[in-house]
Amino acid sequence: MIGTTTLRADVWTVERPGETLAAFVKARTAVPWTVAKRQVATGKVFVDGACVTQVEFRVAVGQQVELRTNAPKPHDPEREGILVFDDAHVVVIDKPAGISSVPYDERETGTAMDLIRGAWRRQGRAATTTPLHVIHRIDRATSGLLAFAKTKRAEMGMAEQLRAHTMERTYVCVAHGVVSSRRIESFLVADRGDGIRGSTTRHEQGKRAVTHVTALHALHGATVCEVKLETGKTHQIRIHLSEAGHPLIGEPVYIRNYTGSLLTSSRMMLHAATLGFVHPVTGAFVSLSSPLPPDFTAVVQRFEP
pLDDT at 79 over 50: no
pLDDT bucket at 57, cuts 50 / 70 / 90:
confident
Mean pLDDT of 199-225: 93
pTM: 0.76
What structural domains and CATH numbers belong to the chain?
Answer: 4-67 (3.10.290.10), 83-302 (3.30.2350.10)
Instruction: Indicate if 94 belongs to the active site.
Output: no
pLDDT for 220 equals: 95
Mean pLDDT of 268-286: 95
pLDDT bucket at 76, cuts 50 / 70 / 90:
low
Residue 204 is given by DSSP the state G
Q: How many helices (H) and strands (E) does the chain have?
A: 6, 16
- Phi and psi angles of residue 190, each rounded to the nearest 5 degrees, phi first: -70, -25
With vertex at residue 219, the alpha carbon angle to CA 218 and CA 220, rounded to the nearest 5 degrees, is: 130
More confident residue, 183 or 81: 183
pLDDT at 105 over 50: yes
- Name the catalytic one among 48, 94, 139, 295: 139
pLDDT for 54 equals: 72
Crossing angle of helices 33-41 and 21-29, rounded to 10°: 120
> What does the pLDDT look like over 154-191, one tens digit per residue?
999 999 999 998 999 999 999 999 999 999 999 999 88
Q: 94, 144 in Cβ contact below 8 A?
A: yes
pLDDT at 1 over 50: no
Mean pLDDT of 264-282: 93
pLDDT bucket at 52, cuts 50 / 70 / 90:
confident
| C-alpha closest to that of 267 among 156, 142, 110 | 142
pLDDT for 80 equals: 47
Q: How far apart are the C-alpha atoms of 174 and 68, rounded to whole Å?
A: 27
